[in-house]
Amino acid sequence: MSDKPEKTSDKHYEDKFEFPLWKLIQDRAEEKGISYAKAAPAVVAEYSKTIKYRDPEFEDKVIMARAEELNELGKKEEKLGIKFKDKKSK
Amino acid sequence: MTDDLTEIADEVIETDVLMIGGGVGGCCAVAKAKENGLDVTLIEKAHIDRSGSAGQGIDHYEGFFTRDGTTTIENVSNEDWRLGRYGVRYPNLNVKYRLYKCQFWVFEQLEKLGVPMRWDDGEPYWIPFPFVGWERRKTGLRVHWTNIKPILGRAVRRSGARILNRTMAIDLLTKDGKVVGATAVNIRTGEFIVIKAKATLIATGKLMRLYNPETPMPWKYKFRYHFCPASSAGDGYALVYRAGGDLVNMDINAWTFRIRDDLTCSYGSFSLNDGVPMKTYTWDGEEIINPNATRYKQLEDEGKTPIYFGFDHFSEDSHKRLEVAFADERMLSFKVAEDRGFNPKTHRYELQDLSPTGFYRVSGIYIDENFRVLRGNKPIEGLYAFGDGSAGGTSGVAGAATGGLLLAEDLPEILQDMDEPEIDISQVEEQKQIALAPLAVEEGVEPLELESAIRDICERYVGMFKSEGKLREGLRRLGSLKDWLGKLSAETPHHITGYLECRNLLDLAEVHIKACIERKETRGNYFRSDYPDIDPDMDGKFFSQRIENGKEIIELREPIPLKPEYLKDAEEEKAELQTADAAS
């Protein structure tokens, strides 16, 4: 695998895909004969159970990992002399 | 000229409270005011069930300093410091303090109105906050509010308030320095309405339409603003300004990246992604820290643009959270993304440029902590404002709901000794002529053409990096656009909306440019190419603008500091916390 970052123009062309949650909302709306807006709350409530919202240990781990990446990136930019702070009042 | 209002108006309404704006804030105020036994009339230029910036839903509610309701002086100072990124302070910190102080009361009030503050398991969900070093207790609620507007609409209807949907305010009515109501037009039927009110409340949303939408493709004739474009015309700002109230910080506006592909991925919970920020890339794939305006310019000079947001580093869990955020706040995003192939798992969202956007948080209508609109430092009797259009802390859905509920709670006492309003009939005649004039113009200009010209002036001659010559040229060109207002035509009453919005935008563009001419420095998000440094004499200060005796006044003011009783309250709370911490 190349160490060089991938150029944006080399990939990420638009491609066909489906959002699983959107499919579920549309299916429920069709099944019940109601609008997407009316179908959404019940579907979202069920879908949310598959997400680790109530696992603060998991969340903290993910957040801290990303925060650490950003810290490192910030230090790298500082070493390159990139340090643009907005001028602030006291 | 007749003395009889019923000969001029199609309908004359007398009411205790006139609410102009039926968004989240307006609906909360109306429901509460009715609960408190007042006669209330609500006018909304769209329909309360889906109007305003919450029309498609909301995914987060940012009302809290802390999860336990404490409001120490550090919290308040941190909030004030946080606004430093705009370069200026809140004009009146007491507004923010009062709002944050009662957040758990607001939580209960919203639940009483049927708004789901908790999830299905019966508990609220606190958004985890990103970044190491931040006070992790500061947070907001993650909410599933796809249908918050229909819920509040139902609550308003049940309250028995008088609701006038598809009705747009023309101007406020004033008498001897007081505000005594407003005129309005039904934009379906063309009926002209006069509303006499002891208290007139304004919550018409933020001002964004002086600049192009955040997603400018396909171009300026489409309203691809993230927030509801109808409630982003700054109507309330213009009503207050023409009635002699102060607008503040109209030189300072927020800025954002314009996103070429999908307008929603940088707002609300999305941008925080429940604590996991997006990645930002240069065109050649290098990850960078999200740039500010100065750094973006440098990237352009270095040939590193376009730059992009990406979510491809997200786990499956985070991608599902993004889907839920779409469902909660902007379901249309599902369709936009699927139709265009913008798969968040692989797509890179081009950030087109950094541009000025809305006037809110620190900018807008000058109010005190009782939501009274100020003229100088004195409240205008009979006039109140809250929500995105008010400067100083009632922005966002939390600010709007809290402002509306608190004010409505106070209103019975406020109105107790108030005299019946008296109307100056000449004002009514004048306002009727103004509003209905475009119906008589044949082969005229479409309002959107004039609005595009106003926005073009702000984009080209104001923009991010301002200078004296550009600002003065912009002002000159704006002046020559004013004649075009009389050439606008409205084929049907519906098109009167666009005409009245143009009228408001013309006034506000002039206020904006004149404020920019006055601020001769660079600070925070405010950039003057000809004055690249901070002017220390401007530290903490802000411009207020109003019309007084027919003359435009612009003043440099000091912010109103925290009241001694609030300061004492915050410090006592801090002392209690310290005692509790020591004991545990």
Q: Is the pLDDT of residue B265 over 90?
A: no
Say whether residue A9 is in contact with chain B using an 8 A CB cutoff.
yes
Average pLDDT on B491-497 reads 95
Q: Is residue B206 part of a domain?
A: yes
Read off the pLDDT of residues B59-118 as tens digits, 9 standing for 90 and up: 989 877 777 766 666 666 666 655 555 567 788 888 988 888 888 999 999 999 999 999
**Record: contact B87-A60, CB cut-off 8 A:** no
Q: Is the pLDDT of residue B439 over 80?
A: yes
Q: pLDDT > 90: what percent of chain A?
A: 47
How far apart, in Å, are the Cα atoms of B493 and each of B9, B183, B407, B496, B497? 16, 15, 33, 5, 8
Q: Residue B140 — very low, low, confident or very high, per pLDDT cuts 50/70/90?
A: confident
Q: How does strand B192-202 pair with strand B378-385?
A: parallel
Say whether residue B128 is in contact with chain A using an 8 A CB cutoff.
yes
**Record: contact A86-B524, CB cut-off 8 A:** yes
Q: Is the pLDDT of residue B210 over 90?
A: yes
**Stronger pLDDT, B212 or B406, i.e. the higher one:** B406
- Both B182 and B310 in a single domain? no
**Record: contact A59-B338, CB cut-off 8 A:** no
Interacting residues of B386 by C-beta distance below 8 A, sequence separation 6+:
B25, B29, B201, B202, B203, B367, B371, B394, B399, B400, B403, B404, B407
CA distance B363 to B386: 12
Give the range with max mean pLDDT: A29-33, A73-77, B445-449: A29-33
- Both B424 and B447 in a single domain? no
- Both B113 and B237 in a single domain? yes
DSSP secondary-structure letter at A4? S
- Both B188 and B222 in a single domain? yes
Average pLDDT on B446-467 reads 94
Chain B residue numbers touching A37 (CB-CB < 8 A): 146-147, 150, 331
* pLDDT at position B115: 97
H helices present in B391-522, as ranges: 396-415, 425-436, 447-457, 468-481, 496-518
Q: How does strand B125-126 pair with strand B192-202?
A: unpaired
Q: CATH number, domain at B330?
A: 3.90.700
Read off the pLDDT of residues B393-402 as tens digits, 9 standing for 90 and up: 788 899 999 9
- Both B205 and B245 in a single domain? yes
Q: Is residue B547 part of a domain?
A: no
Give the range with max mean pLDDT: B11-25, B284-298, B339-353, B360-374: B11-25
* pLDDT at position B72: 66
Q: CATH number, domain at B509?
A: 1.20.58.100
* pLDDT at position B263: 59
**Stronger pLDDT, B56 or B157, i.e. the higher one:** B157
Asked if B234 and B505 count as a contact pair (C-beta separation under 8 A), the reply is yes
Q: Is the pLDDT of residue B182 over 70?
A: yes
Q: pLDDT > 90: what percent of chain B?
A: 61
- Both B368 and B383 in a single domain? yes
Q: Which of B128, B293, B323 sits opposite A19 (nearest CB)?
A: B323
Interface of A with B in 18-77 (CB under 8 A): 18-22, 25, 36-38, 40-41, 43-45, 47-48, 50-54, 56, 58-60, 62-64, 66-68, 70-71, 73-74, 77
Q: Residue B132 — very low, low, confident or very high, per pLDDT cuts 50/70/90?
A: very low
Least confident of B135-144, B524-533, B555-564: B135-144
Structure token digits, residue B560? 């109103």
CA distance B197 to B68: 39
Number of domains in chain B: 3
Structure token digits, residue B16? 């205790």
Cα B252 off chain centre by: 13
**Stronger pLDDT, B98 or B218, i.e. the higher one:** B98
Q: Is residue B578 part of a domain?
A: no
DSSP secondary-structure letter at B560? B
CA distance B340 to B454: 31
Quick one: closest CA in A to B278, which residue? Answer: A66
Last residue of a domain, one of B356, B372, B392: B356
* pLDDT at position A90: 45
**Stronger pLDDT, A46 or B333, i.e. the higher one:** A46
CA distance A44 to B305: 37
Least confident of B363-367, B530-534, B573-577: B573-577
- Both B501 and B447 in a single domain? yes
Q: Residue B553 — very low, low, confident or very high, per pLDDT cuts 50/70/90?
A: very high
Q: Is residue B576 part of a domain?
A: no
Q: Is residue B328 part of a domain?
A: yes
Last residue of a domain, one of B336, B356, B376: B356
**Stronger pLDDT, B67 or A69, i.e. the higher one:** A69
pTM: 0.94
- Both B339 and B365 in a single domain? no
**Stronger pLDDT, A36 or B98, i.e. the higher one:** A36
Radius of gyration of the CA atoms of chain B, in A: 23
Domain range enclosing B63: 9-27+34-153+160-253+359-429
Q: Residue B133 — very low, low, confident or very high, per pLDDT cuts 50/70/90?
A: very low
Least confident of B21-25, B256-260, B364-368: B256-260
> Phi and psi (nearest 5°) for B500?
-65, -35
Q: Is residue B126 part of a domain?
A: yes
Q: Is the pLDDT of residue B202 over 90?
A: yes
- Both B100 and B64 in a single domain? yes
Interacting residues of B453 by C-beta distance below 8 A, sequence separation 6+:
B481, B484
* pLDDT at position B23: 97
Residue that is written with structure tokens 């080399």 in the block? A10
Strand runs (DSSP E) across B95-155, as ranges? 125-126, 139-145
Q: Is the pLDDT of residue B232 over 60?
A: yes
Q: In degrees, to the nearest 5, what angle opens at C-alpha B556 toward C-alphas B551 and B562?
A: 125
- Both B199 and B288 in a single domain? no
Q: Is residue B476 part of a domain?
A: yes
> Phi and psi (nearest 5°) for A6?
-80, 130
Interacting residues of B213 by C-beta distance below 8 A, sequence separation 6+:
B220, B222, B223, B224, B225, B226, B229, B258, B263
Asked if B144 and B58 count as a contact pair (C-beta separation under 8 A), the reply is no
Strand runs (DSSP E) across B315-419, as ranges? 348-356, 364-366, 372-375, 378-385, 390-391
Last residue of a domain, one of B323, B356, B389: B356
Say whether residue B295 is in contact with chain A using an 8 A CB cutoff.
yes
* pLDDT at position B219: 55
How many other C-beta atoms are found inside a 10 Å radius of the C-beta of residue A74? 13
Q: CATH number, domain at B51?
A: 3.50.50.60
Read off the pLDDT of residues B268-323 as tens digits, 9 standing for 90 and up: 545 566 778 888 999 998 999 888 878 888 899 999 999 998 888 899 999 999 89
Q: What is the mean pLDDT of chain B?
A: 89
Asked if B203 and B23 count as a contact pair (C-beta separation under 8 A), the reply is yes
* pLDDT at position B254: 78
- Both B174 and B275 in a single domain? no
Q: What is the ipTM of this complex?
A: 0.91
Interacting residues of B441 by C-beta distance below 8 A, sequence separation 6+:
B486, B487, B488, B489, B490
Q: Residue B510 — very low, low, confident or very high, per pLDDT cuts 50/70/90?
A: very high
Chain B residue numbers touching A58 (CB-CB < 8 A): 317
Q: Is residue B388 part of a domain?
A: yes
Helix (H) or strand (E) holding B175: strand B167-175
Say whether residue A83 is in contact with chain B using an 8 A CB cutoff.
no
Q: Residue B221 — very low, low, confident or very high, per pLDDT cuts 50/70/90?
A: low
Q: Is the pLDDT of residue A1 over 50?
A: no
Least confident of A33-37, B256-260, B354-358: B256-260
* pLDDT at position B162: 98
Q: Is the pLDDT of residue A9 over 80?
A: no
* pLDDT at position B551: 96
- Both B16 and B114 in a single domain? yes
Say whether residue A2 is in contact with chain B using an 8 A CB cutoff.
no
Q: Is the pLDDT of residue A2 over 60?
A: no
Q: Is the pLDDT of residue B48 over 90?
A: yes
